[in-house]
Structure 1
Amino acid sequence: MTIAHDVAGSGPAVVLLHSTVCDRRMWDPQMEALAGAGYRVVRCDLRGFGRTPVPDRPYDNAQDVVDLLDVLGIEHAALIASSGGGRVALEIAARRPRRVTSLALLCTAMAGHEPGPELKAFGERENALIEAGDIAGATELNVETWLGPHADEATREKVRRMQRHAFEVQLAAVEEFEQIETDADLSAITAPTLIVSGAHDLADLRQIAVRLSRRLAGSRHLELSWAGHLPSLERPDMVNPLLIGFLRETVTG
């Protein structure tokens, strides 16, 4: 199965991987900007998000993205990824280092991270709401947790729709299949890497950013003083120039 996706522009390939609070629509503010800057921009929905159905067998998100690149005839690509999509991007860059030209990670998750008190409390509260059948409450919890103070109401509503859709699709699944566990050696990553964190994000995500900046050779870490967990949605006017500048430094035709 080829995961749902769309493509805009022409030039060196840039692949956008969404947060698991959202789906590929989260990149609406970036698509035109990146295509206009001279890139072939691909965004996709991971399994169980947006227009990609839930998995019907054990699955591998990283392999799904690599398979999509093969279908599109893309040999090399820059990866821009948010939160849970960042975990997928790290796996791709570690397992297929020659295919990744550069890596931009926005408030990324990371395999093997042991949740701290804030993230544990969020997970417990979300699970309790879902088990009680309060999907609206669980959706609102995500909106309030993951968006920073600069997100306007239109952005909050957009995240609300994406998260609610993900809950509905995933909870309707007849059977739940686990993601295939793979050991990704982060020391194998060769792509220049920009790690972005938000000062208003949960401590777990800020800690991951610091840890990754120490582990990845050729990386740099930038914390945005105004940002929550989804800066590309909260302030695209600030994030788009940052991403385009990074791509121009690291991606060649």
Structure 2
Amino acid sequence: MTISHAVVGTGPAVLLVHAGVADARMWGRQVEELKADHRVITVDLRGYGETPLEAGAKYSDAGDLLELLDELGVDSVAAVGASFGGYVVQQAASRQPERFNRLVLICAPTDNVVPTDDLRAVWAEENQFLEAGDVDAATDLMVRSWIGPDADDEARELLRAMQKRAYEVQIAAGDDVDNEEYAVEPEKISAPVRLITGAHDFQFFADSATYLAERLPNVERIDLPWAGHLPTLERPSEALRLIL
């Protein structure tokens, strides 16, 4: 299967992988700037945006990314992953480290780090709403939980639309899907990695960055005092400079 994707611009290849509460639309403001001198690849992972998720599907998000790069003939790419997208990028880069020349991981989780109680509480509340069939309440909870104080109304409404779309696709597919996760092996990732975290985010993501910073061979960490979980939506121009 080829996941829904877009390619714009010319120059060095940059792959942008969205958060688990979003889809490729989250990168809109960055794409407009990057495409002037980069070949920018955006994707919708399965169950998000324009990529369907079939009932009973067995797949791998990281495998989908690597297959797409094969299809596009991209041998070397810089990858930017936000949240869950950053986790998928870690999986792909652990599987084929030679293919990735730089990584930017924004508020990304990783293996072997235990979720904090506050994050578990949000997940539990989300599940309660969804089990009750109250998608609007679950969406409101996600917007409150995942975007920081500096986001404008446009960013919040975009997040709301992206999350509702994800619920729509994923609920229709049901629970009988199998997303294979490749092992994350930081020691194998030799490319320069920039880790970005936000002071208004859940502690789990800072803990994940600490874990990665201790194990990645070539790493830089930036902690943003103003940011929540989605800094590219909260301060698009400032976040773009960090990506570049």
Which of the five TM-score ranges fits, normalised by the shorter chain? over 0.9
* 1:218-237 alignment runs, 5 A limit: 218-237=218-237
* Percent of aligned positions that are identical: 42
Structure 2: any 5+ residue segments left out of the alignment?
Answer: none
Spell out, residue by residue over 1:5-46, the C-alpha distance to the aligned partner (whole angstroms, 9 max, x if none). Answer: 00111011000000010001000011011112x110000000
Give the aligned partner of residue 42 of structure 2.
Answer: 43
Give the aligned partner of residue 161 of structure 2.
Answer: 161
AA aligned opposite 1:79: A
CA positional deviation for 1:175: 5.4
Give the aligned partner of residue 216 of structure 1.
Answer: 216
State the secondary structure of the residue aligned to 1:108.
Answer: coil
Question: 2: CA distance between counterparts of 1:150 and 1:27?
Answer: 17
* 1:201-212 alignment runs, 5 A limit: 201-212=201-212
Structure 1 position 132 matched with structure 2 position 114: no
Spell out, residue by residue over 1:193-226, the C-alpha distance to the aligned partner (whole angstroms, 9 max, x if none). Answer: 0000000001111111121111111101100110
Spell out, residue by residue over 1:121-168, the C-alpha distance to the aligned partner (whole angstroms, 9 max, x if none). Answer: 011110011111110000010000001000011110000000001001
Question: 1: CA distance between counterparts of 2:90 and 2:184?
Answer: 8
Question: 1: CA distance between counterparts of 2:113 and 2:129?
Answer: 24
Contact 2:62 2:181 in 1 (8 A): no
Question: 2: CA distance between counterparts of 1:156 and 1:183?
Answer: 33
AA aligned opposite 2:189: I
Contact 1:93 1:191 in 2 (8 A): no
RMSD: 1.1
Question: 2: CA distance between counterparts of 1:236 and 1:116?
Answer: 28
CA positional deviation for 1:94: 0.9
Structure 1 position 84 matched with structure 2 position 84: yes
Question: 1: CA distance between counterparts of 2:204 and 2:175?
Answer: 30
AA aligned opposite 1:122: V
Structure 1: any 5+ residue segments left out of the alignment?
Answer: 245-253
Give the aligned partner of residue 248 of structure 1.
Answer: none
State the secondary structure of the residue aligned to 2:173.
Answer: coil
AA aligned opposite 2:229: H
State the secondary structure of the residue aligned to 1:69.
Answer: helix
Stretches (4+) displaced over 6 A: none
Contact 2:61 2:181 in 1 (8 A): no
Question: 1: CA distance between counterparts of 2:183 and 2:170?
Answer: 26
